[in-house]
Amino acid sequence: MILFFATALMISGAIWPTQGWPSSTPAAEGLDATVLDRLDADLSRGKHGYVDGFLVIRNGRVTYEKTYRHDYAKLFQTAPDRVPGPYNYYDPAWYPYEHGSDLHTMQSVSKSVTSALVGIAIRRGEISGVDAKAVPYFSAYRVAADPRRERMTLKDLLTMTSGIRWDETTVDYTDPANSCARMEASKDWIQFVLDQPMAAEPGSTFVYSSGVTELLAEVLRKATGKQADAYAAEHLFGPLGISRFYWKKTPTGHPDTEGGLYLTARDLAKIGYLYMKDGVWDGRRILPEGWAAASTRRQSDPTGEDATMKYGYQWWVLPGKTPSYAGIGYGGQLLVVVPSLELIAVFTGWNIYDKPALTAEFARDRVLEAIRPR
């Protein structure tokens, strides 16, 4: 009950940046600018590779913002020789910015946005809930018989516990042996994923899979009658005042829900702000009550190098004393949210040229160092 009233109070006094974020200074919002300047200096001199943008929002106001320019066209000249296009990560027409615009690739942060669309469809009664069986949504596809597949639910897709065999973590995304790369090279991504054999009981084992997120594109189309990008424009981006975005399409016309979204950093921050405000935007409920909380708490347990984090509904739950969560994308895309501190940090970059990307935990902790004691 206390948490409910605290959340209601936080929402009632909120700033709503539908028409744009207001600006403030770090000092006015309880941040030490010298700490942020030190991080900016590290990013400027390339200590953390190719970082394109660094944005901090506190108390609903932009308090710190920096951009960094890199000659990706020059880097592309020495990159592996592949056919240019929207799925060649070395093509400077597409990466990291969409054809020279300020729309930056979100990569797997697209998954967190896709999860929001599933929540919206549940709120609107177009999907019954996360316990709905998944297979009936694929009546237009060939689905190999397996009792385990029949038991697979939407929750299993959202939490990366589908049981479908997949490997995109032991080899680089630019390696043709990567399951995600093989999917992206196929003519029908959804059929490719459905053709993969079952390897475990749904709900039992976390396996990071861009393929299962792509399945949600067909779930949304089947449930709502609209493709995910059109549905987002009407029911998510529109209410938040996000008028410019680009969402890549697969060969069958489905949006690339696993990694194809392009947004500006400031508009990406609006997604984090929506979740911080329990799915309510300027008096209008966008997400079902409790969806933001369920999405950003532990639902499954990653293994390997991601084992320090937990996983919700396409969101990463970060370790540490201060509860926080993040959307994380290949190459250094980070949307970090710390609700109790009214803090959002966005990092964009393109660390695919043998450079280590910032981790969400490291980026969060560097920004948290700037919090001034009250």
Angstrom distance (rounded) from CA 154 to CA 143: 16
Q: What backbone torsions phi and psi does residue 336 show, to the nearest 5 degrees?
A: -105, 130
- Write down how long the chain is: 374
Angstrom distance (rounded) from CA 374 to CA 140: 58
Output the pLDDT for position 354. Answer: 81
Q: Side-chain half-sphere of 238: how many Cα atoms within 13 Å?
A: 9
47 Cα distance to chain centroid: 24
Q: Residue for token digits 């999860």?
A: 115
Which tokens is 317 given? Answer: 């739950």
DSSP H or E run through 60: none
Can you give the residue range of the structural domain that contains 280?
2-368
Q: Is residue 373 part of a domain?
A: no
Cβ(320)–Cβ(309) below 8 Å? no
Q: Is residue 200 part of a domain?
A: yes
Output the pLDDT for position 175. Answer: 83
Q: Is residue 174 part of a domain?
A: yes
CATH of residue 234's domain is 3.40.710.10
Q: What is the pTM of this model?
A: 0.95
Which tokens is 78 given? Answer: 């020495």
Q: Is residue 374 part of a domain?
A: no
Output the pLDDT for position 289. Answer: 98
Question: Which residue type sits at 307?
Answer: A
Structurally, how many domains does the chain consist of?
1
Cβ(258)–Cβ(210) below 8 Å? yes
Output the pLDDT for position 2. Answer: 46
Low-confidence stretches of the chain (pLDDT < 50) are 1-6, 9
